[in-house]
Amino acid sequence: MQRKMTGGRRVFTIVNVLFLALIASTMIVPLWNALAESFSSNLGSMQPGILMWPRHFSLSGYQTVWTVLDLWKPFENSVLVSVSGTLLHVLLSTLAGYALAQPSLPGRRVISGLILVTMMIPFEAIMIPFYVTIQQFGLLNTLIALILSGAVSGFSIILMKNFFQSIPTDILDAAKIDGAGHFRCLWRVYIPLSKAGLATVTLFEFVSRWNNLLTTVLLINDSSKNTLQVALNGLVNEGSATSSGNLVTTNVKMAGIIIAVLPLMLAYPFVQKYFVKGIFLGASKE
């Protein structure tokens, strides 16, 4: 499609690049600003004006977050809940996805139907009876409740099922002739061939668990069991997280934000590729 650059084309290219630069800068400037503020001194971060570089460089924001506000515990809780919850989620969706990918499964349509219906029920719409159920199980105020909620989802199951169905059945038949049962087939044949699918579900679930706010707000009362997002919300958006009653300065808030996005930024290079793949896999027809 190489064409000669005409005058109009050149103008278009310049306008286009400027437009995209403007859009991209709305994404990069807030983060850059937050980073600069997080490394400023308490007073420096509170002063008005355009701040794109730390004003009176200082680590006091991070120190306050760590020592006074003790964000370390919520951070730990978040890691624990996100990692174990994600592992559970991936395990269950893989098992269910494999089972539903087998045409020989009796009652497959009924079970698929039951799972599809759950996708039409937003969690927010059943949050109160969900809370009551967790209370009935005696799991209120426990991290186990957070790990269990969202242990599996229709979306992940369908994604894994679609992935498994794209694997040629010849390979499976060969394994079956060799006498492999379903568990062995899954473990030895399907899983090694499904790394991309597994990576997609894992990243999806990890990011959504790391960012989850509502479940923790609902199920956890005890501040020692709070996750990072809830603690951070108290700090950043309500400014009332400090029991000591001291003023939460901007550098402290921004330090909290930087800490919360750090794990995601580290995972980022892998995320984008798989996320798009996941959307298309999850959305493709049966």
Partner 1 sequence: MASTGLLHQQTNPSIVYRTRRLSKWKRAIPLYVMLLPTIAYFMALTYYPLVHSVLISMQDFNLIGNRPFVGIENFRNVLTDPTFWVDFRNTLVLGVSMLAIGFVAPIVIALSLNELMQQWLKRSVQMIIYLPHLFSWVVVGGLWIQLLNPDGGLVNAVLNAFGISSVQFMSDPNVARWVIILVSVWKDVGFNCVIYLAALVGINPELYASAQVDGANRWQETWYVTIPCLARTMQIVGLLSIMGVLRMFDQIYVMRNAVIDPTVNVLMTYVYDQGFTQMNIGQATASALIILLFSLLLTVFTRRLVRYEI
Interface of this chain with partner 1, residues 194 to 253, rule: CB under 8 A: 207, 210-214, 217-218, 229, 232-233, 236-237, 250, 253
For residues 256 and 224, what is the distance between their CA atoms, to the nearest angstrom?
17
Interface size with partner 1, residues (CB under 8 A): 103
Task: Answer yes or no: are the C-beta atoms of 52 and 63 closer than 8 Å.
Answer: no
Q: Which of 4, 23, 222, 247 binds partner 1 (CB under 8 A)?
A: 23
178-197 binders of partner 1 (CB under 8 A): 179, 181-183, 186
Could you say whether residue 10 binds partner 1 (CB under 8 A)?
Answer: no
**Could you tell me which of 202, 201, 175 has the C-alpha nearest to residue 190?**
175
Task: Answer yes or no: are the C-beta atoms of 158 and 93 closer than 8 Å.
Answer: no
Nearest distance from C-beta of residue 197 to partner 1, angstroms:
16
Could you say whether residue 29 binds partner 1 (CB under 8 A)?
Answer: yes
Task: Answer yes or no: are the C-beta atoms of 34 and 257 closer than 8 Å.
Answer: yes
Nearest distance from C-beta of residue 187 to partner 1, angstroms:
11
Could you say whether residue 14 binds partner 1 (CB under 8 A)?
Answer: no
104-133 binders of partner 1 (CB under 8 A): 104-106, 111, 114-116, 118-133
153: enclosing H helix or E strand: none
User: Considering only 56-64, 102-110, 166-174, 193-201, which stretch makes contact with partner 1 by CB under 8 A?
Assistant: 102-110
Q: CA angle, 101 as apex, 200 and 123 as ends, to 5°?
A: 55
Could you say whether residue 169 binds partner 1 (CB under 8 A)?
Answer: no
Binding mask 32-71 for partner 1 (x = CB under 8 A): -xx--x--------xxxxxx--------------------
Record the tokens describing residue 273, joined without a space.
């590729």
For residues 225 and 211, what is the distance between their CA atoms, to the nearest angstrom?
16
Could you say whether residue 260 binds partner 1 (CB under 8 A)?
Answer: yes
**Could you tell me which of 193, 225, 177, 9 has the C-alpha nearest to residue 98?**
193
